[in-house]
Amino acid sequence: MAKHNDLGKKGENRAYFYLKNKAYKILERNYKVDKSEIDIIAEKDKKIVFIEVKTRTSLAFGNPESFLSSAQKNRIIKLAAYYLEETQFEGEIRFDIIAISKSSLVHLEDAFFAYDAS
């Protein structure tokens, strides 16, 4: 496994345990359709939360959350719509980012919205 994949997996595991400790119910990890993936799908306060985990070893080139492009947001939004259709969920949803570096974990709730990505 490539070093960056290993780092990403470690970050996702750290985010998973963080969310579990915050009483999120984890519904899916690494939810994939075709080539698109959502890192974590969880439920909290009757909302479905789609979570992208961004992990970096250094902040030298910017915060981890700044590495989520519009194209990535669009893929997450489309995949979220697919998941919602598949599960027939009709409640509220939210898109979060968990940004991880060596020394910190920052949970950005409502980090982007479906209409932000275009």
pLDDT tens digits along 63-118: 656 667 888 989 999 999 999 999 999 999 999 999 998 888 999 999 988 765 44
Map out the domains of the chain as residue ranges.
3-92+100-116
- Model confidence pLDDT, tens digit, residues 13-49: 999 999 999 999 999 999 999 989 999 999 999 999 9
The CATH number that domain 3-92+100-116 falls under is 3.40.1350.10
Q: In 13-89, which ranges are E strands?
A: 25-33, 36-44, 47-55
Taking the C-alpha atoms of residue 64 and residue 3, their distance in angstroms, rounded to an integer, is 17
